[in-house]
Amino acid sequence: MAGPILVFDSGVGGLSVVQALRQRLPEAALAYACDNAMLPYGQREDAWLVQRIRAVCEAAVAASGCSALVVACNTASTLALDVLRECLAIPVVGTVPAIKPAAQLSRTRHIGLLATRATVSRPYTLQLIQDFAADCRVTRVAADALVIEAERLVAGELPDRTILCQALAPLWEDPDLDTVVLGCTHFPLLAPWLAEAAPRQVTWIDSGEAIARRVAQVVTVFAPRQGDTPSFVTTPDERLGRGLATFGFASPRLLHPA
Ligand code: DGL
Protein backbone atom coordinates (compact mmCIF):
# COMPACT_ATOMS: atom_id res chain seq x y z
CA MET A 1 0.00 0.00 0.00
CA ALA A 2 1.20 3.54 -0.80
CA GLY A 3 2.60 5.57 2.08
CA PRO A 4 2.29 9.29 2.82
CA ILE A 5 4.13 12.06 0.99
CA LEU A 6 6.96 13.10 3.29
CA VAL A 7 7.84 16.80 3.40
CA PHE A 8 11.33 17.57 4.72
CA ASP A 9 12.99 20.83 5.77
CA SER A 10 15.52 22.02 8.31
CA GLY A 11 12.69 23.59 10.30
CA VAL A 12 9.18 24.95 9.78
CA GLY A 13 9.78 26.29 6.25
CA GLY A 14 8.39 23.13 4.67
CA LEU A 15 5.02 24.02 6.15
CA SER A 16 4.63 26.62 3.38
CA VAL A 17 4.96 23.72 0.93
CA VAL A 18 2.53 21.64 3.02
CA GLN A 19 -0.05 24.42 2.49
CA ALA A 20 0.43 24.27 -1.28
CA LEU A 21 0.28 20.46 -1.29
CA ARG A 22 -2.95 20.47 0.69
CA GLN A 23 -4.48 22.86 -1.82
CA ARG A 24 -3.57 20.69 -4.78
CA LEU A 25 -3.87 17.22 -3.20
CA PRO A 26 -6.34 17.63 -0.33
CA GLU A 27 -6.93 13.88 -0.07
CA ALA A 28 -3.28 12.84 0.11
CA ALA A 29 -1.71 11.65 3.36
CA LEU A 30 1.28 13.77 4.35
CA ALA A 31 4.06 13.42 6.91
CA TYR A 32 6.54 16.10 8.02
CA ALA A 33 10.15 15.83 9.10
CA CYS A 34 12.53 18.57 10.16
CA ASP A 35 16.11 18.67 11.33
CA ASN A 36 15.46 21.22 14.05
CA ALA A 37 18.59 20.13 15.96
CA MET A 38 20.77 21.53 13.15
CA LEU A 39 18.72 24.55 12.05
CA PRO A 40 19.63 26.84 10.34
CA TYR A 41 21.08 24.94 7.37
CA GLY A 42 21.95 28.16 5.55
CA GLN A 43 24.97 28.73 7.80
CA ARG A 44 26.47 25.22 7.59
CA GLU A 45 29.41 23.87 5.68
CA ASP A 46 28.49 22.07 2.42
CA ALA A 47 30.25 18.70 2.80
CA TRP A 48 28.98 18.22 6.32
CA LEU A 49 25.48 19.29 5.29
CA VAL A 50 25.23 16.76 2.45
CA GLN A 51 25.98 13.90 4.86
CA ARG A 52 23.57 15.26 7.44
CA ILE A 53 20.70 15.73 4.97
CA ARG A 54 21.23 12.22 3.68
CA ALA A 55 21.23 10.71 7.20
CA VAL A 56 18.10 12.62 8.32
CA CYS A 57 16.18 11.88 5.12
CA GLU A 58 17.07 8.17 5.26
CA ALA A 59 15.89 8.00 8.88
CA ALA A 60 12.68 9.95 8.12
CA VAL A 61 11.85 7.91 5.02
CA ALA A 62 12.25 4.68 7.01
CA ALA A 63 10.24 5.98 9.99
CA SER A 64 7.36 7.34 7.89
CA GLY A 65 7.10 4.56 5.30
CA CYS A 66 6.56 7.32 2.74
CA SER A 67 6.11 6.76 -0.98
CA ALA A 68 7.75 10.04 -2.05
CA LEU A 69 10.02 12.66 -0.51
CA VAL A 70 9.60 16.40 -1.03
CA VAL A 71 12.76 18.25 -0.09
CA ALA A 72 11.00 21.47 0.90
CA CYS A 73 14.23 23.35 1.43
CA ASN A 74 16.15 25.34 -1.17
CA THR A 75 19.34 25.18 0.87
CA ALA A 76 19.19 21.36 0.92
CA SER A 77 17.91 20.91 -2.64
CA THR A 78 20.53 23.11 -4.32
CA LEU A 79 23.18 20.94 -2.65
CA ALA A 80 21.97 17.39 -2.07
CA LEU A 81 19.26 16.39 -4.55
CA ASP A 82 21.55 14.11 -6.58
CA VAL A 83 22.81 12.33 -3.47
CA LEU A 84 19.26 11.79 -2.19
CA ARG A 85 18.08 10.45 -5.54
CA GLU A 86 21.00 8.01 -5.57
CA CYS A 87 20.45 6.64 -2.08
CA LEU A 88 16.64 6.56 -1.88
CA ALA A 89 14.41 4.15 -3.79
CA ILE A 90 11.43 6.54 -3.93
CA PRO A 91 10.75 9.65 -6.04
CA VAL A 92 12.43 12.79 -4.67
CA VAL A 93 11.02 16.22 -5.57
CA GLY A 94 13.20 19.22 -4.79
CA THR A 95 12.70 22.95 -4.26
CA VAL A 96 14.78 25.52 -6.08
CA PRO A 97 14.36 29.31 -6.28
CA ALA A 98 11.62 30.39 -8.69
CA ILE A 99 14.00 32.33 -10.94
CA LYS A 100 12.34 31.23 -14.17
CA PRO A 101 8.78 32.46 -13.41
CA ALA A 102 10.21 35.64 -11.91
CA ALA A 103 12.14 36.37 -15.11
CA GLN A 104 8.98 35.70 -17.12
CA LEU A 105 6.99 38.16 -15.01
CA SER A 106 9.42 41.02 -14.50
CA ARG A 107 8.73 44.01 -16.71
CA THR A 108 11.75 46.00 -15.63
CA ARG A 109 14.12 42.99 -16.02
CA HIS A 110 15.39 43.55 -12.49
CA ILE A 111 14.51 40.83 -9.99
CA GLY A 112 15.54 40.15 -6.39
CA LEU A 113 16.45 36.79 -4.89
CA LEU A 114 15.87 36.56 -1.15
CA ALA A 115 17.29 33.33 0.28
CA THR A 116 19.79 31.94 2.74
CA ARG A 117 23.45 32.88 2.50
CA ALA A 118 24.16 29.39 1.17
CA THR A 119 21.45 29.42 -1.51
CA VAL A 120 22.28 32.86 -2.94
CA SER A 121 25.83 31.78 -3.75
CA ARG A 122 25.42 28.11 -4.73
CA PRO A 123 26.60 27.13 -8.26
CA TYR A 124 23.13 25.59 -8.76
CA THR A 125 21.51 28.99 -8.19
CA LEU A 126 24.00 30.84 -10.40
CA GLN A 127 23.29 28.34 -13.17
CA LEU A 128 19.51 28.87 -12.77
CA ILE A 129 20.09 32.61 -13.18
CA GLN A 130 22.25 32.07 -16.24
CA ASP A 131 19.76 29.65 -17.81
CA PHE A 132 16.52 31.51 -17.12
CA ALA A 133 17.30 35.13 -16.28
CA ALA A 134 20.35 35.92 -18.40
CA ASP A 135 18.74 39.14 -19.62
CA CYS A 136 17.80 40.28 -16.11
CA ARG A 137 19.70 42.01 -13.41
CA VAL A 138 19.41 39.77 -10.33
CA THR A 139 20.04 41.28 -6.89
CA ARG A 140 20.88 38.40 -4.55
CA VAL A 141 20.17 39.07 -0.88
CA ALA A 142 21.17 36.71 1.95
CA ALA A 143 18.41 36.97 4.53
CA ASP A 144 19.11 34.24 7.10
CA ALA A 145 17.57 36.33 9.86
CA LEU A 146 14.16 35.73 8.27
CA VAL A 147 14.51 31.98 8.88
CA ILE A 148 14.55 32.64 12.61
CA GLU A 149 11.61 35.08 12.32
CA ALA A 150 9.53 32.38 10.58
CA GLU A 151 10.47 29.88 13.28
CA ARG A 152 9.33 32.37 15.92
CA LEU A 153 6.07 32.96 14.06
CA VAL A 154 5.15 29.27 13.98
CA ALA A 155 6.10 29.05 17.66
CA GLY A 156 3.43 31.69 18.37
CA GLU A 157 5.34 35.00 18.39
CA LEU A 158 4.99 37.94 16.02
CA PRO A 159 7.88 38.67 13.64
CA ASP A 160 10.12 41.62 14.53
CA ARG A 161 9.44 44.39 11.99
CA THR A 162 12.88 45.99 12.42
CA ILE A 163 14.59 42.71 11.54
CA LEU A 164 12.33 42.28 8.51
CA CYS A 165 13.03 45.81 7.26
CA GLN A 166 16.79 45.35 7.70
CA ALA A 167 16.75 42.04 5.84
CA LEU A 168 14.78 43.49 2.91
CA ALA A 169 16.67 46.83 2.68
CA PRO A 170 19.17 45.83 -0.09
CA LEU A 171 16.23 45.06 -2.40
CA TRP A 172 15.08 48.67 -2.45
CA GLU A 173 18.35 50.30 -3.51
CA ASP A 174 17.28 50.36 -7.15
CA PRO A 175 13.72 51.63 -7.72
CA ASP A 176 13.47 49.47 -10.86
CA LEU A 177 13.38 46.10 -9.09
CA ASP A 178 9.81 44.82 -9.53
CA THR A 179 9.83 41.09 -8.62
CA VAL A 180 11.18 39.26 -5.57
CA VAL A 181 11.83 35.52 -5.44
CA LEU A 182 11.32 34.01 -2.00
CA GLY A 183 14.08 31.42 -2.38
CA CYS A 184 13.71 29.91 1.07
CA THR A 185 10.62 27.97 2.08
CA HIS A 186 10.50 29.74 5.43
CA PHE A 187 9.82 33.10 3.80
CA PRO A 188 6.28 32.58 2.38
CA LEU A 189 5.15 32.01 5.97
CA LEU A 190 6.06 35.67 6.56
CA ALA A 191 4.38 36.91 3.36
CA PRO A 192 1.91 39.44 4.87
CA TRP A 193 4.64 40.90 7.09
CA LEU A 194 7.12 41.13 4.23
CA ALA A 195 4.58 42.92 2.04
CA GLU A 196 3.81 45.30 4.88
CA ALA A 197 7.51 46.02 5.50
CA ALA A 198 8.18 46.77 1.81
CA PRO A 199 8.29 50.50 0.93
CA ARG A 200 6.59 49.88 -2.43
CA GLN A 201 4.61 47.22 -4.22
CA VAL A 202 6.50 44.38 -5.88
CA THR A 203 5.50 40.89 -7.05
CA TRP A 204 6.56 38.17 -4.59
CA ILE A 205 7.09 34.69 -6.01
CA ASP A 206 7.69 31.40 -4.22
CA SER A 207 7.97 27.79 -5.37
CA GLY A 208 5.11 26.24 -3.35
CA GLU A 209 2.57 25.86 -6.13
CA ALA A 210 5.11 24.61 -8.67
CA ILE A 211 6.31 21.95 -6.21
CA ALA A 212 2.76 20.80 -5.53
CA ARG A 213 2.14 20.58 -9.28
CA ARG A 214 5.29 18.51 -9.72
CA VAL A 215 4.35 16.19 -6.83
CA ALA A 216 0.93 15.63 -8.39
CA GLN A 217 2.66 14.54 -11.61
CA VAL A 218 5.18 12.26 -9.90
CA VAL A 219 2.99 10.67 -7.21
CA THR A 220 0.11 9.15 -9.12
CA VAL A 221 -0.97 6.74 -6.37
CA PHE A 222 -1.00 8.19 -2.88
CA ALA A 223 -2.27 7.04 0.50
CA PRO A 224 -5.55 8.74 1.51
CA ARG A 225 -5.48 11.21 4.36
CA GLN A 226 -6.90 9.59 7.51
CA GLY A 227 -6.15 9.58 11.24
CA ASP A 228 -2.95 11.11 12.55
CA THR A 229 -0.60 13.06 10.30
CA PRO A 230 2.83 12.09 11.63
CA SER A 231 5.69 14.48 12.20
CA PHE A 232 9.35 13.87 13.05
CA VAL A 233 12.01 16.05 14.64
CA THR A 234 15.67 15.57 15.52
CA THR A 235 15.50 17.18 18.96
CA PRO A 236 12.50 17.60 21.28
CA ASP A 237 10.98 21.09 21.25
CA GLU A 238 7.59 21.71 22.82
CA ARG A 239 6.97 25.03 21.07
CA LEU A 240 7.72 23.46 17.70
CA GLY A 241 5.36 20.60 18.57
CA ARG A 242 2.58 23.11 19.27
CA GLY A 243 3.36 24.92 16.02
CA LEU A 244 3.19 21.69 14.03
CA ALA A 245 -0.14 20.93 15.70
CA THR A 246 -1.58 24.19 14.34
CA PHE A 247 -0.76 22.83 10.86
CA GLY A 248 -2.58 19.58 11.66
CA PHE A 249 0.39 17.39 12.60
CA ALA A 250 0.47 14.88 15.43
CA SER A 251 2.90 15.22 18.30
CA PRO A 252 6.43 14.83 16.81
CA ARG A 253 8.40 11.62 17.13
CA LEU A 254 12.15 11.71 17.55
CA LEU A 255 14.39 10.63 14.66
CA HIS A 256 17.82 9.10 15.22
CA PRO A 257 19.84 9.83 12.07
CA ALA A 258 22.91 7.58 11.68
N1 DGL B 1 13.89 26.48 4.59
C2 DGL B 1 15.21 26.42 4.12
C3 DGL B 1 15.31 26.82 2.64
O4 DGL B 1 14.36 26.75 1.90
C5 DGL B 1 16.38 27.00 4.84
C6 DGL B 1 16.39 27.34 6.25
C7 DGL B 1 17.70 27.14 6.93
O8 DGL B 1 18.64 27.94 6.74
O9 DGL B 1 17.78 26.16 7.65
O10 DGL B 1 16.38 27.17 2.19
Question: Which CATH number is 5-95+209-254 given?
Answer: 3.40.50.1860
The full 3-state SS of 84-104, as one line of letters, equals: HHHHCCCCEECCCCCHHHHHH
CA 223 – CA 55 distance, rounded (Å): 25
Query: In this predicted structure, what is the pLDDT of residue 227?
Result: 81
Quick check: CB of 34 below 6 Å from ligand 1? no
How many Cα atoms sit within 13 Å of 198 on the Cβ side? 19
Give dist(CA 83, CA 79) in Å, integer. 9
Which one of 36, 147, 148, 151 would you pick to mutate in the ligand 1 pocket, going by the greatest count of ligand atoms within 8 A of its CB? 147
Residue 16 to residue 185: CA distance in whole angstroms: 6
Pocket test for ligand 1, best of 7, 8, 9 (most atoms within 8 A of CB): 9
pLDDT (0 to 100) of residue 144 = 98
Query: Could you tell me the fold of the domain covering 99-206?
Result: Rossmann fold (3.40.50)
Low-confidence ranges of the chain (pLDDT < 70): 1
Please give the pLDDT value at position 93: 98
pLDDT at 192: 98
Give the model's pLDDT for residue 186: 98
Instruction: Indicate the residue type of 66.
Output: C
CB of 114 within 6 A of ligand 1: the answer is no
Main-chain dihedrals φ then ψ at residue 160, nearest 5 degrees: -90, 115
**Residue 146: closest CA among 178, 195, 188, 174:** 188
pLDDT value at residue 2: 83
For 171-205, write each residue's pLDDT tens digit. Answer: 999 999 999 999 999 999 999 999 999 999 999 99
Q: List the one residue out of 8, 18, 3, 1 whose CA is nearest residue 67.
A: 3
User: Rounded to the nearest 5°, which phi and psi values hold at 148?
Assistant: -65, -40
Give the DSSP per-residue string, 113-155.
EEE-HHHHH-HHHHHHHHHH-TTSEEEEEE-THHHHHHHHHHT
Domain with CATH 3.40.50.1860 in the chain: 5-95+209-254, 99-206
- Angstrom CA distances, 17 to 8, 59, 186, stand at 10, 21, 9
